[in-house]
Amino acid sequence: MILVTGGAGFIGANFVLDWLAQSDEAIVNLDALTYAGNLQNLASLAADPRHIFVHGDIADSTLVAGLLAQYQPRAIINFAAESHVDRSIHGPEDFIQTNIVGTFRLLEAVRAHWNGLNDETKQGFRFLHVSTDEVYGSLAKDEPAFSETRRYEPNSPYSASKAASDHLVRAYHHTYGLPTLTTNCSNNYGPYHFPEKLIPLMIVNALAGKPLPVYGDGQQIRDWLYVKDHCSAIRRVLAAGRVGEVYNIGGCNEKPNIEIVHTVCALLDELHPLPTYHSPLTTYRSLIAYVTDRPGHDRRYAIDASKIEHELGWKPAETFETGIRKTVQWYLDNQSWVSNVQSGAYRTWVEKNYQGRS
């Protein structure tokens, strides 16, 4: 079996669902169920004995050591993190705790366990750390996309904490020989994405007739990847990646934010047209509102995914057009999931993040 951390969050839950749809290898899923963790994402596995959910923190060394001893996983995939840049600006402490201290404690527990394995099991063991392209900082307009050798220049507390975790993983391979793999992926989108991030926020706000807040001039560029393509890349790296290596994962879909928002609006206009008989709006685009920019906002991210493509033969299956259509349709079909995650805590966050922006 494998041990996944953070498997109740956006990417982790998609990974767990896809893994068990394709394989009978069981998963132990360790998740602290922060605001971003949601067991409803995994409701379809409620009666599935191949999914063992454990509520706990990656920084709880005793708990992690116990799980490793009990389940003897052949691999760990570390998704657990605080992941939202805006939250890291308002309160960086949790990011330091989970992304740095948590990853460190997890690595320590895994190292102790791995040291006690027999040679054959030790050799086959893997620790795969899931990270982000944001560790590389911001690209100028005409600079080449991030390759794996790009210098780390993190600019937000989130990306700095992820960069620190990447360095720890690297050091545990270099110093102790722990068989690690690291993936640095671009922005994901798709089902179960918490509606504090750009794409799901725009969909749920539009459906509620609320403003669509575009930071600054909306010309910041991200490289979008459908979440299920990220999951297939992780499976591929786990199966065939070279130990100690880093693989960048991206969709070759560089788009300015404002274009993303226009695309979401156009899809909603088509799939869920505004009821014109009692609304003065004819298109969701009328809801777009430019607001004060995010401090330290990175201008452009782009991934050079040629290493994973050439070495491991991985390519995304979705284009942006097919992936975004599926995503908008998923939110239309799962409006009860959306209302369930819009708890009191969610409303408090939205107020905190947007009320000070003109």
Of 182, 183, 181, which is closest to residue 243 (Cα–Cα)?
181
Cβ count within 10 A of residue 58 = 27
The one-letter code for the residue type at 92 is P
Q: Phi/psi class of residue 296: alpha, beta or left (left: φ > 0; alpha: ψ in -120 to 50)?
A: left
Count the residues in the chain. Answer: 358
For ligand NAD, the binding residue among 17, 19, 27, 31 (CB under 6 A) is 31
Task: Give catalytic status of residue 158 as yes or no.
Answer: yes
Instruction: State the Cα–Cα distance between residues 164 and 157, nearest whole angstrom.
Output: 10
Q: Select from ligand TYD, ligand NAD, none the partner in contact with residue 6, using the beta carbon and a kind-dependent cut-off of 5 to 8 Å.
A: ligand NAD
Residue 200 in the binding site for ligand NAD (CB under 6 A): no
Residue 11 in the binding site for ligand NAD (CB under 6 A): yes
Q: Select from ligand TYD, ligand NAD, none the partner in contact with residue 185, using the beta carbon and a kind-dependent cut-off of 5 to 8 Å.
A: ligand NAD
Of 176, 165, 153, which is closest to residue 78 (Cα–Cα)?
165
Tell me the site size for ligand NAD, rule CB under 6 A: 31
Q: Are the CB atoms for 184 and 246 separated by under 8 Å?
A: yes
Task: Give catalytic status of residue 133 as yes or no.
Answer: yes
For ligand NAD, the binding residue among 168, 185, 198, 308 (CB under 6 A) is 185
For ligand TYD, the binding residue among 222, 235, 236, 300 (CB under 6 A) is 222
Identify the active-site residue in 31, 133, 254, 318. 133
Q: Select from ligand TYD, ligand NAD, none the partner in contact with residue 4, using the beta carbon and a kind-dependent cut-off of 5 to 8 Å.
A: none
Q: Are the CB atoms for 271 and 207 separated by under 8 Å?
A: no
Identify the active-site residue in 31, 136, 158, 172. 158
Q: Are the CB atoms for 12 and 232 separated by under 8 Å?
A: no
Strands 254-256 and 225-226: unpaired
Q: Which two tokens stand for residue 226?
A: 């459908």
Q: In Å, how far are 85, 152, 153 from 161, measured between CA atoms?
A: 11, 12, 12
Residue 316 in the binding site for ligand NAD (CB under 6 A): no
Q: Are the CB atoms for 329 and 271 separated by under 8 Å?
A: yes
Between 102 and 137, name the residue whose CB sits nearer to ligand NAD.
Answer: 102
Q: Select from ligand TYD, ligand NAD, none the partner in contact with residue 228, using the beta carbon and a kind-dependent cut-off of 5 to 8 Å.
A: none
183's enclosing H/E stretch is: strand 180-185
Cβ count within 10 A of residue 252 = 18
Q: Select from ligand NAD, ligand TYD, none the partner in contact with residue 9, using the beta carbon and a kind-dependent cut-off of 5 to 8 Å.
A: ligand NAD
Residue 184 in the binding site for ligand TYD (CB under 6 A): no
Between 155 and 187, name the residue whose CB sits nearer to ligand NAD.
Answer: 187
Q: Are the CB atoms for 187 and 256 separated by under 8 Å?
A: no
DSSP state, 55?
E
Between 5 and 253, name the residue whose CB sits nearer to ligand NAD.
Answer: 5
**Of the ranges 100-108, 111-119, 213-221, 308-316, which one interacts with ligand TYD (CB under 6 A)?**
213-221
Q: Select from ligand NAD, ligand TYD, none the partner in contact with residue 32, using the beta carbon and a kind-dependent cut-off of 5 to 8 Å.
A: ligand NAD
Task: Give catalytic status of residue 71 as yes or no.
Answer: no
Q: Select from ligand TYD, ligand NAD, none the partner in contact with residue 36, using the beta carbon and a kind-dependent cut-off of 5 to 8 Å.
A: ligand NAD
For ligand NAD, the binding residue among 36, 160, 274, 287 (CB under 6 A) is 36
Of 43, 7, 10, 49, which is closest to residue 26 (Cα–Cα)?
49
Instruction: State the Cα–Cα distance between residues 39 and 27, nearest whole angstrom.
Output: 15
Active-site residue numbers? 133-134, 158
List residues near ligand TYD by CB under 6 A.
85, 187, 197-198, 201, 213-215, 220, 222, 257, 294
Instruction: Please report, as ranges, the residues that interact with ligand NAD according to CB under 6 A.
Output: 5-6, 8-12, 30-34, 36-37, 57-59, 79-81, 83, 98, 102, 130-132, 162, 185, 187-188, 194
